[in-house]
Amino acid sequence: MNIRPLAITEAYSSDLNETSNHAEAAVFSTPLSKAIVDNFPDFLSEFAKREKWEYLQLDDVLKNTIPNSDKCFYLEQVLVKSADPNTLFCRIRKTLSGDKYFAFKVVTAENVKQQIRANFPVAIFPAYYLYHFLLRRVFPKLKGLRKLSRLLSIPVDMSRAEIMGRLIYNGYKIVQMIDIPSATVFITTIDTEHNPSQTNPASNEGFLFRMKRIGKGGKDITIYKFRSMHPYAEYVQAYLHTKNGLAEGGKFKDDFRVSTGGRLIRKYWVDELPMLYNLLKGDIKLVGVRPLSAHYFALYPLSVQRLRLRHKPGLLPPFYADLPKTLDEILQSEVNYMNRYAKAPVWTDCVYLYRILKNIIVHGARSK
């Protein structure tokens, strides 16, 4: 086997350019403002005719000199995190016509992992990938090492979920994602109804994650957790629900937003330790219905929504007392708890706390 170690500081685009010489995703050199004719990726013609596409140069976007156009845009260069994707998406959105497409290539974290797996023997892959993961996905997010990573020009991998979240955050709809050799192509359009970047601050990419949840009386509360999902994953929730629906236990089916390490800390509730701060602040109580996002809250019937708004959310939900499997069973479990709590608050919480701890300690109930 011919093993070529992946250079940690090399630009992603070099790998892609080598591959694209033999693929339909060739990197083009046509100037901006000229319709794409030669070396046109066939899959883009499924969305608009060749003459309706134009190249977009990264330098023009970064300099904010994008010419007005009534055509679809295809970003010529491979998008990397150092190019500030949020700024890039925002500027393109201001220029792109509402019914046109914007397409671009990214070497995602998943693409990189596949490349490493193909270049290293099975015995070496776990150790090398751990090294790669720490260097390009963990260290750049640590306060003390962030500047050093930038000084050394170490590329930072972006997961598919993060890119999707950034797009939705900046007011785009994801039309399709196409895997090509060494990269992924995103096909998008403008979401004329939603642009969370106008009202919400950029996502915190650190290990401590802040979430907006609905509290008692409909008041917005900030819940703290250790990050178990990729950055900007919260904006992918509606997309994920539409595409995949709910799995057993009320969680989203095939939730690709959760990282590998995130699944581990979720299993033992390590991610929820910062919620003890919310408990001390009085945002939540020890036992109570789970604090929900606005999207998940909207899935509940109005009668249950009204009932929920009369109760303070809790750290330990009745879910772990009853272990329901479907959304209807979850709703009934919460309604039963809230009705019992309204009649005998202290006794109800004591009973539910006992049942929850029994299921966790004795029966091994775990979060997913």
pLDDT: which is higher, 118 or 27: 118
Q: Mean pLDDT for the chain?
A: 86
Q: Are residues 36 and 181 in the same domain?
A: yes
Domain that holds residue 29: 12-109+155-198
Share of the chain residues as helix, strand and coil, in percent rounded to the nearest 5? 45, 15, 40
pLDDT-derived band at 38 (thresholds 50, 70, 90) equals low
Across 165-199, b (16+ Cβ under 10 Å) vs e yields bbbbbbbbebeeebebebbbbbbbbbbeeebbbee
Q: Mean pLDDT throughout 268-288?
A: 95
> 158 falls in which pLDDT band (50, 70, 90)?
very high
Residues 341 and 257 in one domain: yes
Per-residue pLDDT tens for 59-105?
889 888 887 788 999 998 899 998 899 999 999 999 998 889 999 99
* pTM score, whole prediction: 0.82
What is the predicted pLDDT for the residue at 28? 35
Selected residue with higher pLDDT from 249 and 134? 134
Examine the domain organization and report whether 216 and 352 are in the same domain: yes
What pLDDT, on a 0 to 100 scale, did the predictor assign at position 148? 80
Domain boundary among 177, 198, 219: 198
Are 296 and 323 contained in the same domain?
yes
Cα–Cα distance measured from residue 169 to residue 85, given in angstroms and rounded to the nearest whole number: 11
* Residue 36 belongs to domain with CATH number: 3.40.50
| Cα–Cα distance for residue pair 245/255, rounded to 1 Å | 10
Would you say residue 260 has pLDDT above 90? no
Q: Which residue has the higher pLDDT, 205 or 233?
A: 233
Domain boundary (168, 198, 228) is at 198
Does 225 score more than 90 pLDDT? yes
Give pLDDT, residue 16.
42
Distance CA 156, CA 159 (A): 10
Mean pLDDT, residues 119-135:
92
Task: Give the mean pLDDT of 234-244.
Answer: 92
Q: Percent of the chain scored above 90 by pLDDT? A: 61
Looking at the DSSP bridge assignments, the partners of residue 258 are 229
224 and 320 share one domain: yes
Residue 140 lies in a domain: no
Note the pLDDT tens digit of each residue in 9-25: 333 334 444 433 333 33
Same domain, 189 and 273: no
Place of tokens 């699944």: 263
State pLDDT tens for residues 178-201.
998 889 999 999 999 999 999 998
Contact 125, 131 (CB under 8 A): no
Task: Tell me, yes or no, whether 368 lies in a domain.
Answer: no
Looking at the structure, tell me whether residues 216 and 175 fall in a common domain: no
